[in-house]
Amino acid sequence: MSDEFNEHDWRRFLLSIGEDPSRPGLLETPARVAKAWKHWTSGYGQNPADVLKAFEDGAEHYNELIVVRNIPVYSHCEHHLAPFFGKATVGYMPDGKIVGLSKLTRLVECFSKRLQVQERLTMQVANALMEILEPRAVGVVIRCRHLCMESRGIKTAGEETVTSTMLGELRQNLAMRTEFLDLAREDIGRF
């Protein structure tokens, strides 16, 4: 799709809601909105395998959880195109390979910059990490607020949806699962 096509569609959208796209305040809006949606959906052009560069150096004897918390999540629900946002916690137990810590954030971003439902987003992050890195265990917890619930429909502000996926040893090992969920909790003391 070309930017002109997108701009034309956004002009038609403005007309359809009763606005005048030729008024001064809206003249540049179609171009800005087309550019914003290109950014918000840029995850479709990303391959998760390209995001997760693995290192074998440094992980040969590490057999504990590696967890990154408070990863920002900004996405749009596929049902209403309304934003949802929050935080993700991603953890894994390596099996000889590790990734740069920022790669976990980039993996979340790769999938969140697509039209989503939170449940699928959670599973996509976990499955990609498990497939590409081949760790012993993967855990993902995502907490988000959904504007489709807050601004329309039930109209309740501040509700948080929590989803989780546990793969590999985290699925069967209760002690490891408990440790991961403890590390993922938000109320753990700050530095």
Predicted confidence (pLDDT) at residue 190 exceeds the cutoff of 80:
no
* 148 carries an active-site annotation: yes
Give me the catalytic one of 7, 76, 146, 179. Answer: 146
Question: Over the stretch 41-100, which tens digit does the pLDDT of each residue have?
Answer: 999 999 999 999 887 776 677 889 999 999 999 999 999 999 999 999 999 999 988 999
Give this prediction's pTM.
0.90
Q: Which residue has the higher pLDDT, 102 or 4?
A: 102
pLDDT at site 137: 97
CA-angle at 122, arms to 120 and 125, nearest 5°: 105
pLDDT at site 155: 82
Spatial distance between the Cα atoms of 144 and 72, rounded to a whole number of angstroms: 10
Of 52-56, 110-114, 177-181, which gets the smallest average pLDDT? Answer: 52-56
* 79 carries an active-site annotation: yes
Place of tokens 């939170």: 118
* 110 carries an active-site annotation: no
> Residue 98 to residues 19, 25, 59, 92, 126: CA-CA distances in angstroms?
52, 50, 6, 9, 15
> What is the signed CA dihedral for 102, 107, 109, 111, rounded to 10 degrees?
180
Complete domains list, the chain, with CATH: 3-40 (1.10.286.10), 46-184 (3.30.1130.10)
pLDDT band at 187 (very low <50, low <70, confident <90, very high): low
* 118 carries an active-site annotation: yes
